[in-house]
Amino acid sequence: MLTKILYIIIDSIGIIIILFTIRAIMGIKAEYGKWLKYTLGASILAIASNILIACSADPMLAEIAYCFYFSSINWIIYCLTGFCLLYTEHRTEFNILRIPGGCIMAADALSIFANLLLHHHFTIYEKTVGGVVFYQTAFRPVYYIHLTIDYIYIIVALLFIISRIVNSYDLYRMKYVIILSVLLFVIALNIAYMALSLVLDASVVFYAVAGMLIYFCTEIFVPRKLMNSSVSRAVDDMNEGLIIFDISNNCIYTNAFCEYRFGITASTCDITRDPIASVLKDLEASGRNFGETSYIDRSGAEVAHYKIKYTSLLDRRARSIGSYFLLQDTTEEVHYMEEIQRSRIAADKANEAKSTFLANMSHEIRTPLNAILGMNEMIIRTTQNPEIAEYADNIQDSGKTLLSLINDILDFSKIEAGRMEVTESEYEPLQLIRDCYYFFEQTAGVKDLYLHFNFDEKIPMKLYGDPLHIRQILTNIISNAIKYTKEGGVTVNVFYNNTGSNRIELITEVSDTGMGIEKEDIPHLFESFKRVNESENAAIQGTGLGLSITKQLVELMNGRITVDSAPGEGSSFKVMIPQTVTDHTDSGKLILLHKKEEAVYKESFHAPDAKILIVDDVKLNLKVACALLRKTRIKTETALSGDAAIQMCMTTKYDAILLDHRMPIKDGIETFGEISSKGMNTDTPVIMLTANAVNGIEEEYKKIGFAGYLSKPIDISSLENMLKDILPIAKVLP
């Protein structure tokens, strides 16, 4: 009786093992996992049938249990064959055998249960062992047909496994050998049971063991073995070094990279050998236990650079189990960065040379242009001849156009060099737009074009931004619109979008009725030195930089610019620039009055008691400056060099000094240094009057100590305003 109880307990444990194995198999995504699950399900039925056989109290119950047992063996073999075919990647053969095999097994199972009526497979007899009755089976010839079917299936499965073993690489052969071994073991146990005519079939317990072994081999042991082998080969093939130490700092692994580059292997490497020793020394010097550092290997024919990372190895509980070094060859990267650095230095030098060239060009062009426009201004002031006055006006317009071209080139150079800066201040958008209208009113009128400005009355009265650059942006766009429009006119719409409590997006849309732009040309509008429809627009003056500068200025202020155009339908440019609101009061309506004819020049002040010194190495420039200031009745003295100016300042006190920058021997800055340190004019305000108009120059002059800065050609209004501010108040008369 004890034997039966022990047998039932062991079989029950087998069922529990199978249930846990099935639960683990649920995670297998491959189809063979499903068939392995079916196999273990049939195994549970076989073991349960054996328990029922052991517990049977009469022959009828034992016969029913045996029918379930023999039938479940059928389905174990059928499902196991399916698993073997799928696992060995014989899907085609599996698809061919699945339905016919299932039908054969189903027919055989029905035949076994028919034994309850026909007794054609086996009969039940009693066998007493140690006083305990066991029910055994006596097989009839038909049973061996059932047995043959089972063994044919087993042989088919084994043949497919052997075929895969023969045709597989060594690396993958192992996983099929393990499955074959497990199957042969279970078959051997089953044959032993039949050969020895045991009272109970103990081999069914090994279904659980076999299922667990198959799962362990297919999903844990084999993948890990393959992974370790594959990872080892992959690590050897990678273009990085790997050195692993255990917790006692014994080297346990190095890959092929380390052996090839440094001649070290797991048996020869320790922490006292380079590059390990150098890395640990660098990390210790920086107060770190782990981290990344650089290493230079000069032992070879060529210097090699490495980036080495030293990291601790932790287990799943975050306990240290060792450490590793990861070595990355950065020689090419270092050489590449050195090349980039050399290229950057060369580019900086080229850019500096270009900036110097542009500054020189600006100076050389502005100097004669100053004389041309200055003397022309004197002609305009003094001539009474209408024909000569018209000629002088044309010269003035052409001179201003030339000055505009020079300014475009300089602006482009500033932006390209990253030297263009946003200078923010409070301004009134209504006044800015009104100024733009007056600036272009006459230009549009000359071409008989209308110029309409629509201004949203609710735009806040005061904004904080860069009004000079906004004015430049609008001037460039409106100027282009007038240039390329022959009939009709230009409409400027100004409105806004709220983007926050004190933030708006100021939007200006400039539309014209001009020739329009082809769709494929629109992406090229903002390219430097690019002019679309060059052949048609050859007569229109320009550098091709205006829109490029405009776009970059818009982006400098974090804004956006868009274009909508079609040939023959005109163009529309929309500029959106974020601004800060400083006064939320509505700006009100834009009132535009037609400008009156330009009045004859009238000086803004008189200063007959004031005396100034004008210093320039070009006589004509001195003559121009003196002539422009003649009507203010300021007393002017001149000097053709820095040394001459210094000598004059030693004996004469001046109310202001206009000083040119670029002069031979002593330039303007050197001259200023001596004048401000000795003589009678150490506190006299000095205005730098120069053709140097590069970005940021005014701030540099003011840092040095100059009272102001004016670029050539001289704008008489700016000159008078600056003198009016710096001359002694008592000497400035209306």
DSSP letter at 293 equals E
Q: What is the mean pLDDT of the chain?
A: 82
Is a pLDDT exceeding 90 seen at residue 429? yes
pLDDT class of 543 with cuts at 50, 70, 90: very low
CB 48 within 8 A of CB 36: no
Q: What CATH code is assigned to 422-586?
A: 3.30.565.10
pLDDT class of 676 with cuts at 50, 70, 90: very high
Q: Supply 464's token pair.
A: 């904080």
CB 37 within 8 A of CB 64: no
Distance from the Cα of residue 630 to its chain's centroid:
62
**Does the CA dihedral 135-140-146-151 come out positive or negative?**
positive
Q: Supply 690's token pair.
A: 């120069």
Residue 644, number of CB atoms within 10 A of its CB: 16
Record: fold of 238-329: Beta-Lactamase (3.30.450)
pLDDT class of 222 with cuts at 50, 70, 90: low
Q: Supply 523's token pair.
A: 């992406």
pLDDT of residue 540: 45
pLDDT of residue 245: 86
pLDDT of residue 537: 47
Q: What mean pLDDT is predicted for residues 55-65?
A: 87
What is the rounded CA–CA span in Å between residue 526 and residue 555?
Answer: 12
pLDDT tens digits for range 135-146 = 888 888 998 898
CB 706 within 8 A of CB 726: no
Q: What mean pLDDT is predicted for residues 617-631?
A: 87
- Closest Cα to residue 467, out of 478, 458, 475? 475
Q: How far is CA 618 from CA 122, 371, 374, 625, 662, in A?
A: 132, 10, 13, 11, 10
Is a pLDDT exceeding 90 seen at residue 712? no
Record: fold of 343-414: Helix Hairpins (1.10.287)
What residue type is 3 in one-letter code? T
- Closest Cα to residue 46, out of 21, 59, 20, 65? 65
Distance from the Cα of residue 559 to its chain's centroid:
21
Coil, strand or helix: which one is 340? helix
pLDDT of residue 85: 87
Tell which wins on pLDDT, 640 or 19.
640
Tell which wins on pLDDT, 211 or 484.
484
CB 324 within 8 A of CB 313: yes
Record: fold of 611-731: Rossmann fold (3.40.50)
Length of the chain (residues) = 734
Question: Rounded to two decimals, what is the model's pTM?
Answer: 0.45
Residue 445, number of CB atoms within 10 A of its CB: 13
H-type helices in 88-221, by residue range?
A: 91-113, 115-118, 141-167, 170-196, 205-216
What is the rounded CA–CA span in Å between residue 610 and residue 728?
Answer: 8
DSSP 598-658: PPPP--S-B-TT-EEEEE-S-HHHHHHHHHHTGGGT-EEEEESSHHHHHHHHHH---SEEE
Q: What mean pLDDT is predicted for residues 239-255?
A: 83
Q: What CATH code is assigned to 2-229?
A: 1.20.1070.10
pLDDT of residue 10: 73
pLDDT class of 528 with cuts at 50, 70, 90: low
Is a pLDDT exceeding 60 seen at residue 677? yes
What residue type is 9 in one-letter code? I
CB 469 within 8 A of CB 556: yes
Q: Supply 531's token pair.
A: 């002019």
Tell which wins on pLDDT, 370 or 96.
96
Coil, strand or helix: which one is 263? coil
Q: What mean pLDDT is predicted for residues 128-157?
A: 83
CB 507 within 8 A of CB 575: yes
Q: What mean pLDDT is predicted for residues 330-355?
A: 82
Query: In the chain, pLDDT over 70 holds for what percent of residues?
Result: 84
Residues 6 or more apart whose Cβ sits within 8 Å of residue 218: 32, 36, 87, 175, 179
Q: Which of 285-294, 363-372, 473-482 has the lowest mean pLDDT?
A: 363-372
pLDDT tens digits for range 648-667 = 999 999 999 999 888 888 99
Kind and range of the H or E run holding 354: helix 331-382
pLDDT class of 350 with cuts at 50, 70, 90: confident
Cα torsion through 639, 643, 646, 652, rounded to 10: -50
pLDDT class of 544 with cuts at 50, 70, 90: very low
Residue ranges per structural domain of the chain: 2-229, 238-329, 343-414, 422-586, 611-731
pLDDT of residue 28: 79
Is a pLDDT exceeding 80 seen at residue 195? no
pLDDT of residue 373: 75
